[in-house]
Structure 1
């Protein structure tokens, strides 16, 4: 999902200016790795036993102190995520303190823990938005993919409750083998509820599946993922806007406007955006495991300085940086690392994904 997705033009301008100045304006806090679901493709979730072997859950006081440091550094947009963030025993206190600091908060949640009381709380203390992932459009998909029977109805109930308290909701979808036949139904749910839907068709390899061949992973083949991506974009945009998108994309590729030869990272990660995981490690983005530094030990300002310096050293592969399809390709440092084990690797999955996307747009 694009970092600026859903942002206003003014907000995107703020992000762009902050990126040039290397000011940390946007961040996310992974409050904990625990989740009440256990999705096959998840790269974050740990059981309580696994978490306790690696560290401890940070307290509300610790997160609030980091919040004060972030506020002084200029952080404006903040995402609260997990795991499932509502599982943190001090979520509401952390949320209110950060909100009172003037930060614009968004919440990532699976939606299953939202009851009347929590929906009322969020309605009275509104976030910018609640991003809720629909993993399918049936209980069968939730049981097979998330190992959480009754998850679909509980998620739908959470969405309905938030809407009843006028909380802005966005639906996300993650394409996998288990739910590939329900993507259209997920989009239809959003249309019926008048809620925007964004289907993420490129799934990075899950932690437990990283060494497996594609046919044994939870994600679909790159060609199938590209096909569903183009179908979803066409439906989301409408025929007229989609035609304009296709034309511009093909023109950019033909005219080589993708800044071929630029090997540095092109996204906002490590330039004006960061993430802090449940252990307190600051990283450029939620996917990247390096560079990293403990924000609780170093302090926010010193940690950010280190992340900026180290991120500027990261280079993508020469093959990717000179590829004529770079403007269409979604390869980034994080995907290169997870797909190949190296920032300078060339992910075969992404090459096939992009080639099929181009073929479909040309059709």
Structure 2
């Protein structure tokens, strides 16, 4: 079982360690040397030095490469990241959820495995596994382990309600995740259970967080501020700081993937913040999203013109870049706007707001005063 991964990543070559945020860039010659060496070969002196400098607690001097290193092969496709909704099902019914209907449906295991193989062939090194709530999926554990064995650095996005389970903790101990991102929906039982619409959700969240912190999982919190818990924003961030866990605060809700605006009523007007200006992204070119049925899109938001990975195989990726370019250029409900050429909002995101008939101020940034 590997403790280090060497891999092409976009136009670079990296050395990374599951469970660690750190890493090192390698020259192409170094990558090719490691790629050519037999698993029985001893670690080159230069690699030993790099590992010692980056991870002093990891000793590889004199070790066989096959004992600790997984060398990933180059890919002609150039995708470095991907996200995967294992299932839309969830054990919560959050008022603000952008997924809308929580349908427990997805692919059989053989299709899931094939899709993960294709992702690896496409070059995906960093994989976000999400849902719904991914840990309730019947295939989550073997899918996670399979992706890990392929040499992926995995982020699990979860509500944390099941992180106390011994089988999950054993899995994460044996196959460390790159990150575990936990959504936080309140600082008290009243607000947390109200937003998730599930009695006892707060108790499970606390139990999961206590277990995750005890296991020293690489945690990061997504603090979600809504009408139900807005008065607890400071209490939520204080709790994260007392735990010593980094966090990011989210106040702006997004319409559902079906274009429904009902979830927008959950956001707190008093806590809304101006979204970061959208400049550009490589959605569809260097990363992609896959839904529970193996349908690829450029990202979680821009889901038009999906490609079936189980049916088309890796060749379907050849169409993704053109789809991305078309979606990013589309003006949709902003047709006729004289300022469209300087739009500062992600076009697929703006489309969702327009379909939800949201007020223009909810997404349009033109005319807003510059800060400071």
> Shared fold by TM > 0.5?
yes
Return the match for 1:32 from 78, 84, 87: 87
Equivalent of 2:273, from 213, 218, 226? 226
Structure 1 residues 206, 139: CA separation in 2 closer, same or farther (over 3 Å shift)? farther
Q: Matches of 1:112 and 1:128 in 2, distance apart?
A: 19
Residues 41 and 337 (structure 1), Cα distance of their counterparts in 2 relative to 1, 3 Å cut: same
Question: Higher RCO, 1 or 2 (CA under 8 Å, sep at least 6)?
Answer: 1
Find the counterpart in structure 1 of residue 47 from structure 2. none
- 1:88 paired to 2:137: yes
TM-aligned CA deviation for residue 350 of structure 1: 2.2
- Post-superposition Cα deviations, 1:277-333, rounded to whole Å, max 9, x if no partner, equal 01211001112221311111111x22221111111122154625425xx4xxxx212
What is the deviation of 1:59? 2.3
Superposition deviation, residue 76 in structure 1: 0.6
* Structure with greater strand share of residues: 2
Gaps of 5+ in 1: 1-5, 12-20, 230-248, 260-265
Distance in 1 of aligned mates of 2:171 and 2:262: 43
Tell me which of 312, 316, 328 is aligned to 2:325.
312
Bigger Rg, which one: 2
* Partner residue in 2 for 1:3: none
Aligned match for 1:42, one of 88, 93, 97 = 97
How well do the aligned residues superpose, as a CA RMSD in angstroms?
3.1
Cα distance, 1:352 vs structure 2: 6.2
Compared CA separation, residues 146 and 320, structure 1 to 2 (3 A): farther
Question: Against the structure 1 CA distance between its residues 43 and 120, is the aligned structure 2 distance closer, same or farther, given a 3 Å change threshold?
Answer: same
Residue 142 of structure 2 corresponds to residue 129 of structure 1: no
Superposed displacement of residue 83, structure 1: 0.7
8 Å CA contact retained: 2:77, 2:122: no
Q: 2:197 aligns with which of 122, 143, 147?
A: 147
Q: Distance in 1 between matches of 2:233 and 2:367?
A: 20
Instruction: Give the 3-state SS of the residue equivalent to 1:120 in structure 2.
Output: helix
Q: Is 1:349 aligned to residue 362 of structure 2?
A: yes
Is the Cα contact below 8 Å between 1:60 and 1:93 reproduced in 2? no
**Aligned twin of 1:340:** 354
Structure 2 CA distance for partners of 1:25 and 1:164, relative to 1, 3 Å: same
Greater shift, 57-66 or 84-93, is seen at 57-66
Give a deviation string over 1:215-257, Cα, whole Å, max 9, x none. xx11233x74128x8xxxxxxxxxxxxxxxxxxx9xxx9xxxx
Aligned residue pair count: 294
SS at match of 1:334: helix
Per the alignment, do residues 213 and 141 of structure 1 end up closer, same or farther by CA in structure 2, a change over 3 Å counting? closer
Q: 2: distance between equivalents of 1:336 and 1:289?
A: 13
The residue aligned with 1:172 is 222
Greater mean deviation of Cα atoms: 101-110 or 84-93: 84-93
Contact persistence 1:275–1:283 (CA under 8 A): yes
Instruction: Tell me how far apart the structure 2 counterparts of residues 167 and 109 of structure 1 sit (CA, whole Å).
Output: 13
After TM superposition, give the deviation of residue 171 of structure 1 in Å.
Answer: 0.5
3-state SS, counterpart of residue 273 of structure 2 = helix
How many Å separate the matches in 2 of 1:208 and 1:341?
9
- Preserved contact between residue 26 and residue 77 of structure 1 (Cα < 8 Å): yes
Higher helix content, 1 or 2? 1
Structure 2 regions of 5+ residues with no counterpart?
Answer: 1-19, 26-75, 332-336
8 Å Cα contact 1:336-1:346 kept in structure 2? no
Residue number in structure 1 paired with 2:126: 77
Q: In structure 1, what is the equivalent of residue 298 of structure 2?
A: 284
From 210, 220, 234, give the equivalent of 1:184.
Answer: 234
